[in-house]
Structure 1
Amino acid sequence: MAQQKLYAGAKLREVRTRIGMTQKHFAAKLGVSLPYLNQMENNNRPVSTTVVLALAQEFGLDVTELSTGDSERLVSDMREALADPVFSGDMPPLADLRLAASNAPALAHAFIELHRSYRQTHERLASLDEALGREDARARPSPWEEVRDFFHYCDNYIDAVDRAAEHFATAEGRPGNIRVAVIAGLGNAGVTVQFTDMDLIRSYDADTKNLQISSRLSPETQTFQMLLQLALVRQNALLEATLDLARFQSSEARAIAKIGLANYYAGATLMPYGPFLQAAQDCRHDIEILASRFGASIEQVVHRLSTMQRPGAKGIPFFFVRVDQAGTITKRHSATRLQFARFGGACPLWNVHRAFEQPGQFLRQLAETPDGVRYINLARDVSKPAGRFGAPVRRFAIALGCEVSHASALVYADGLDLTRDDTFEPIGISCRICERKQCHQRSVPPLERQLRVDPDTRDVLPYQVG
């Protein structure tokens, strides 16, 4: 099979701009001519192996940064936006979208932001939002969407916060019992910890520096909540500095993001990057072994595996998703080429929906997306009881997956036949942008396709996709 050519013009320009070099000086450092560099920066020519090696040797660049992960996310988001009925005519060719994402990523982001603003304005009109006509009723992303996109485009990895958490977890030869370390760390900050029989999960009084944790929680959740509070108390300056760089548009988004960063710190402390990555590789990513070894829950381990994208020490690029019983995505991230729909639920053919039917089990699935990429998916239900009789139980299902090329590194791939085409189930992103014409679970027709309706013929679907 011919090796895929690497076009990374935007990344080359970014590196050159960051180090403050002219094209002429940069070309000399890379050992290429000025016209050749110009052609590479404009994606008229692929980045050669010689240039990749020079980038690593001369500038210490992690060559994995030249991958198209962010471009693929942009392409997926643009395709979904362009599937909106407001855009009449044919969908632009996929090659054009990839060219826009590679050559003009800032423009692609602006387009996605513009469509999101339009969509939210349309929703306000449709629901007769009371805010219409007020000065502050300008269309803008919801705080949740803004924070979600922040983590999404950071590849779900926040380096400064991750390294601070790893330092706390491994400093001064701390024992493996992080629970003891976090209570001591809070004590050093003047915070007293009490385990109380209460409905709240966590309650902190800043005046008395008293932290109350519900005694009904599992030990893993109790430790996680204490670590979250430790981040808010002892790492406040780091969190605020990270938030300043993010430049959120609203105070609500900033507040939500701060909690998200504190959660990130808690997970990264409970499962410090270096030891966790090594343990994951040693046990071939056996989630239950990792949960037991690091005193974490199944969901915490799965979420942490999706963040292992430190430059120079990357783990397997996973996607992670959590859905509720209605199929609504409540958490999502992908370091793979598979990207989740920004609006609506996940493809009904994913095994994540079957997890509710078989509680307490890991479900395996081999799947293929419309672009021909194949994945191995893992799904399991997770329940969050309130700890007392009569209290509602929150039920979710989580999924973790990666491209099938990494299957040998997963214990869950053992016994699966990866050689037969018919073992891979066809899945999509969401019905309105999925190109599959014969899907028996399609809920709505693809918006960019012409439909044929024959009143005298009825198949599984009441129409045919042109």
Structure 2
Amino acid sequence: MSTGKLYIGRRVREVREAAKLTQTAFAERLGISVSYINQIENNQRSVSASVLVLLAERFGIDLSSISTNDGDRLIAILSEALADPVFSPHSPSLQELKLVVQNAPSFAQALLSCHQAYRRNSEQLASLDDHIGGWSTEPTPYEEVRDFFHFTDNYVHDLDVSAESLALELDIANSDANAALAKHLENQHGVLIRRTDPGDSFLRRFDPTSRILFLSPYLPAATRSFQMALQIAALEQEDQIEKIAKRAEFRTADAREVCKAGLRNYYAGALILPYQPFLTTAKELRHDLDLIAARFGASMEQVAHRLSTLQRPGHKGVPVFFARVDRAGNITKRHSAAKLQFARYGAACPLWNVHQAFESPSRIIRQLAETPDGVRFLCIATELAKGHGGFGTLRPRYAIALGCEISYARDFVYADGLDLTSKGAYDPIGISCRICERADCAQRAVPPLKSRLTVHRNRRNVLPYEIS
């Protein structure tokens, strides 16, 4: 969706207002005309490279923090919402959507909130729920928290920096993480590590009275490290976590508690995979998940998830998408710093290689893919099993997916041997069938919402209808 030009009018206006300057004074400081400033702030003209340099030199703007990713993400979600027939026959163009997102992002967010409430209400009516008194158009706590992390780019600066500081102090990147974390818990908090009793189903259980952290003896080493790091987050970062959750202004206490749990998990991941050592290693090993996991004693999922959080201003990693999908196609984790956005309603595209991963357990499946807007991606997926215990223990199976836009593919070992220049090498994928405009997809599950259908009595193709 990128035009190749940078329209950051709202950001420039915020810089000017923070400096308490009029447009005239601001233009004089930059050495450009007042009319140019006016056009920039109203997104009628893009910002040139020379003006960007002047903004950095004279107003301290971090150029690496200027990104259109947030706008692209909001445009993708808004476009999906507006594909709903309730908005028919109004079909804003891509340029109109860009103008709304660039100039009135709060309005775009408000429209999305209204549409989400409408969708929930419609789904409840369709299900003929007998508990009429329990109907609600409010987002669920989980949905609120999912959107919170989505629009923070899945990066929480204060927690990330604190976790990295402690990781460097404990030398996590170059030592036995389990031993280092256990020693820290004992020395700083008087917490001892003990095994859970046989038959205890808990992965982790902390007794604040005895100061004992019980861990299942059947946990993999990577999971043990994460659970200890999670306990450190609960003991040392609760005040900071409370402040972050409070600033988010969630609608309910449940959402705030779900967010706090997510923030503890975030800190734990950042502690066992500290930002700068992890980013450096990822670049050196060309994002080889197996090698990075072995270097840090982490799981492949932990590594893939951490790669999706490398959005620190001035020190960003490759923008990637990350998802975890169960066998039914439910996306149980999702984040995208790339242009590929996941459907908020309905299932993921069946042509996406994440579904194929279940057919080849433990193998990494590679795919070159192209979305309807012409953006190309390198996608990798693999199937994993989660759980602990002996014979007869239920072990949930799921697939993780990771990928990047094709311009970054050479930074990944998984691109080796693939013909990135051949158009025929790319599989056509979409976000979801309900908004995908491809008319000739044999894997289509449902017709696109905004298309006319034609059914012929005397002929049919793979699909029982034709899409106009």
Fold shared, TM-score > 0.5 on shorter chain: yes
Corresponding residue to 2:146 among 145, 148, 154: 148
Structure 2 partner of 1:267: 269
Residues of 1 paired with 2:25 and 2:247: CA distance? 30
Which runs of no fewer than 5 residues in structure 1 stay unpaired? none
SS at match of 1:433: coil
Residues of 1 paired with 2:53 and 2:368: CA distance? 35
The alignment covers a number of residue pairs equal to: 463
Residues of 2 paired with 1:59 and 1:131: CA distance? 57
Structure 1 position 94, deviation (Å): 1.6
Residues of 1 paired with 2:423 and 2:166: CA distance? 47
**Cα separation, partners in 2 of 1:395 and 1:172, compared to 1, 3 Å:** closer
Residues of 1 paired with 2:367 and 2:316: CA distance? 24
Can you list the C-alpha shifts for 1:249-271, whole angstroms capped at 9, x where unaligned? 11111111111111111111111
Question: Aligned partner of 1:91: which letter?
Answer: S
Q: What is the TM-score with the length of structure 1 in the denominator? A: 0.95
**Cα separation, partners in 2 of 1:231 and 1:372, compared to 1, 3 Å:** same
Structure 1 partner of 2:177: 178
Corresponding residue to 2:293 among 287, 291, 294: 291
RMSD over aligned CA atoms reads 1.8
Corresponding residue to 2:224 among 192, 198, 222: 222
* Mapping for residues 21-420 of structure 1, pairs under 5 Å: 21-129=21-129, 132-133=132-133, 138-171=136-169, 176-187=175-186, 188-196=188-196, 197=198, 198-420=200-422
Residues of 1 paired with 2:451 and 2:167: CA distance? 53
Can you list the C-alpha shifts for 1:138-162, whole angstroms capped at 9, x where unaligned? 4211111110100100011111110
Structure 1 position 128, deviation (Å): 4.2
Any runs of at least 4 consecutive aligned residues in structure 1 with deviations exceeding 6 A, and if so which? none
Residues of 2 paired with 1:17 and 1:212: CA distance? 53
**Cα separation, partners in 2 of 1:272 and 1:56, compared to 1, 3 Å:** same
Contact 1:435 1:446 in 2 (8 A): yes
Contact 2:203 2:219 in 1 (8 A): yes
Residues of 2 paired with 1:335 and 1:433: CA distance? 21
Question: Aligned partner of 1:349: which letter?
Answer: L
Residues of 1 paired with 2:171 and 2:329: CA distance? 44
**Cα separation, partners in 2 of 1:141 and 1:19, compared to 1, 3 Å:** farther
Residues of 1 paired with 2:226 and 2:18: CA distance? 37
Contact 1:374 1:404 in 2 (8 A): yes
Residues of 1 paired with 2:148 and 2:3: CA distance? 33
Which runs of no fewer than 5 residues in structure 2 stay unpaired? none
Can you list the C-alpha shifts for 1:12-66, whole angstroms capped at 9, x where unaligned? 2233344544433333333322221111011111111121111222233232333
Question: Aligned partner of 2:4: which letter?
Answer: Q
Structure 1 position 172, deviation (Å): 6.2
Structure 1 position 99, deviation (Å): 1.6
Contact 1:31 1:51 in 2 (8 A): no
SS at match of 1:330: strand
Residues of 1 paired with 2:60 and 2:327: CA distance? 46
Residues of 2 paired with 1:172 and 1:179: CA distance? 11
**Cα separation, partners in 2 of 1:392 and 1:13, compared to 1, 3 Å:** same
Residues of 1 paired with 2:180 and 2:15: CA distance? 40
Contact 1:189 1:234 in 2 (8 A): no
Can you list the C-alpha shifts for 1:210-250, whole angstroms capped at 9, x where unaligned? 21111111010011011011101111111111111111111
Higher mean C-alpha deviation, range 103-112 or range 165-174: 165-174
Contact 2:170 2:180 in 1 (8 A): no
**Cα separation, partners in 2 of 1:271 and 1:141, compared to 1, 3 Å:** same
Can you list the C-alpha shifts for 1:79-124, whole angstroms capped at 9, x where unaligned? 1111222222152212211221111111101100111111112223
Contact 2:65 2:314 in 1 (8 A): no
Can you list the C-alpha shifts for 1:271-330, whole angstroms capped at 9, x where unaligned? 101001101111111111100011100000000011111000001000001111011111
Question: Aligned partner of 2:453: which letter?
Answer: L
Instruction: Verify: 1:441 aligned to 2:440, yes or no.
Output: no
Contact 1:91 1:448 in 2 (8 A): no
Question: Aligned partner of 1:23: which letter?
Answer: Q
**Cα separation, partners in 2 of 1:208 and 1:273, compared to 1, 3 Å:** same
SS at match of 2:54: helix
What is the aligned-residue identity percentage?
51
Residues of 2 paired with 1:57 and 1:108: CA distance? 32
Structure 1 position 131, deviation (Å): 5.5
Can you list the C-alpha shifts for 1:61-81, whole angstroms capped at 9, x where unaligned? 232333211111111111111
Residues of 1 paired with 2:18 and 2:330: CA distance? 40
